[in-house]
């Protein structure tokens, strides 16, 4: 995912960065908005890839839960490129039963 014109302090120093509530709260307001833009797209694409009806990754969940996101991204003069990410933490997990129902 290429985010032209979007930079976030902390992305690019290392290819993999850790984002949690504390890291998000330390961002400047401009970086927070840029990170929100990245996570909105990331969350939507992740939800689609998993066959979910709605995104489950966004800046609000990272800021208000114990979840952590390991973001694989690089930075270039024109913006940020996100190659992938892994979100970990306490979550309710669901499986779909044979009849299509969700079960926790």
pLDDT digits (tens, 9 = 90+) for 27-55: 999 999 999 999 999 999 999 999 999 99
Where does 28-71 have alpha helices with state H?
29-50, 59-64
Is 71 exposed, middle or buried (CB count within 10 Å of its CB: 0-12, 13-18, 19+)?
A: buried
Q: Could you tell me the CA-to-CA distances from 47 to 54, 63, 81, 93, 95 in Å, in that order? A: 6, 19, 19, 14, 15
pLDDT in tens, 52-102: 999 989 999 999 999 999 999 999 889 999 999 999 988 778 888 999 898
> Using the 8-state DSSP alphabet, how is residue 86 labeled?
E
Q: What is the C-alpha R_g of the chain?
A: 15
């Amino acid at each position: 995912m290429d985010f032209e014109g979007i930079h976030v302090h902390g992305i690019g120093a290392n290819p993999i960065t850790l984002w949690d509530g504390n890291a998000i709260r330390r961002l400047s307001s401009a970086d927070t908005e840029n990170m929100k833009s990245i996570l909105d797209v990331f969350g939507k694409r992740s939800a689609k890839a998993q066959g979910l009806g709605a995104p489950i990754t966004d800046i609000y969940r990272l800021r208000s839960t114990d979840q952590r996101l390991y973001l694989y991204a690089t930075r270039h003069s024109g913006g940020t490129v996100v190659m992938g990410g892994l979100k970990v933490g306490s979550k309710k997990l669901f499986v779909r039963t044979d009849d299509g129902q969700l079960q926790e």
